[in-house]
Amino acid sequence: MRKKIAAGNWKMNTDPNFGENFIKNLENRPFPDDVLVILGVPYVSLLSMSNTAKKVAIAGQNCHQEDKGAYTGEISASMLSSVGCGYVILGHSERRQYFNETDDLILSKIHKAFENNLEVIYCCGEPLEVREEGSHEAYVGKQLEDSICKLDKDQLSKVVIAYEPIWAIGTGKTASPEQAQSMHANIRKVIENNFDRECAEAISILYGGSVKPANAKEIFSQPDVDGGLVGGASLKEDSFYDIIQSF
């Protein structure tokens, strides 16, 4: 049985005060036992939120590929671990686009995350022009083959995949449940081809891109969709809570 996951990605929004209150209020509500809830939050909020959280797991949104050193403004995987993170989001399309992250670099960050006991939410997804020309499956397949397919099986078991079509991020334009299902099935096939069927069946694959309470249930009900990575709608406690309950 695969893990069901509702993950939020706050990106560069909110402050520690907001984060602490959010966790307190959210955890005061009845939580489904079988859903793993993860919040990827700004660095300045990691410590207080992980100290406050009893059920929600806390994630960093990036880490550097080196252990330490003269990298002004960067954060290491060990720093994330030291403030209570259990996860790190890597390969987000915004990091790929604005910080020129390649799958080679992302792979080295993934290794560093594992060395520091972090599990990884690995993001992949195609831009609009690739979707329009119909080569989205090959595009995402290559992202996977250049990164997580180079791990061993044990390492892969510490990865959650998030499929986030770039054209659906922050645009209000969601992939249809059929489009999400078809890409998730393709991703599972790539994992099966590079590892085996057991690994493919075990890995959780989240959908991300304009997930909200109004569409979460239908998307999450697809057989190969195991949850969501939610941006905007994870910033409001009510809407994120509705999404947690959408399985």
Total of residues contacting ligand 13P (CB under 6 A): 14
Residue 210 CB, nearest approach to ligand 13P (Å): 4
Task: Specify the DSSP class assigned to residue 207.
Answer: E
Q: Is 210 in the site for ligand 13P (CB under 6 A)?
A: yes
Given candidates 51, 82, 133, 170, which one binds ligand 13P under the rule CB under 6 A? 170
Q: Is 208 in the site for ligand 13P (CB under 6 A)?
A: yes
Which stretch of DSSP H or E encloses residue 228? strand 227-230
Which residue matches tokens 């239908």? 218
Given candidates 211, 216, 219, 225, which one binds ligand 13P under the rule CB under 6 A? 211
Task: Specify the DSSP class assigned to residue 235.
Answer: S
CB closer to ligand 13P, 141 vs 232: 232
Measured in degrees and rounded to the nearest 5, phi and psi for residue 31 equal -105, 135
Compute, in degrees rounded to 10, the torsion defined by CA atoms 201, 178, 4, 114: 60
* Choices 13-21, 65-73, 107-115, 228-236 (CB under 6 A): range interacting with ligand 13P: 228-236
Q: Is 164 a catalytic residue?
A: yes
Site string for ligand 13P, 91-130 (x = CB under 6 A): -x--------------------------------------
The dihedral of CA 57, 89, 151, 193: what is its sign?
positive
Which residue matches tokens 């078809």? 182
Distance CA 39, CA 16 (A): 13
The dihedral of CA 134, 98, 112, 230: what is its sign?
negative
Site string for ligand 13P, 35-74 (x = CB under 6 A): ----------------------------------------
Q: Is 92 a catalytic residue?
A: yes
Which stretch of DSSP H or E encloses residue 131? helix 128-133
Q: How far is CA 81 from CA 62, 128, 142, 210, in A?
A: 12, 35, 30, 29
Q: Is 169 in the site for ligand 13P (CB under 6 A)?
A: yes
Site string for ligand 13P, 8-27 (x = CB under 6 A): -x------------------
CB closer to ligand 13P, 185 vs 235: 235
Question: Would you state the structure tokens that stand for residue 172, as one six-digit string?
Answer: 């209000």
Catalytic residue chosen out of the listed positions 94, 101, 164, 184: 164
Interface positions with ligand 13P (CB under 6 A): 9, 92, 164, 169-170, 208-211, 229-233
Kindly list the catalytic residues: 92, 164
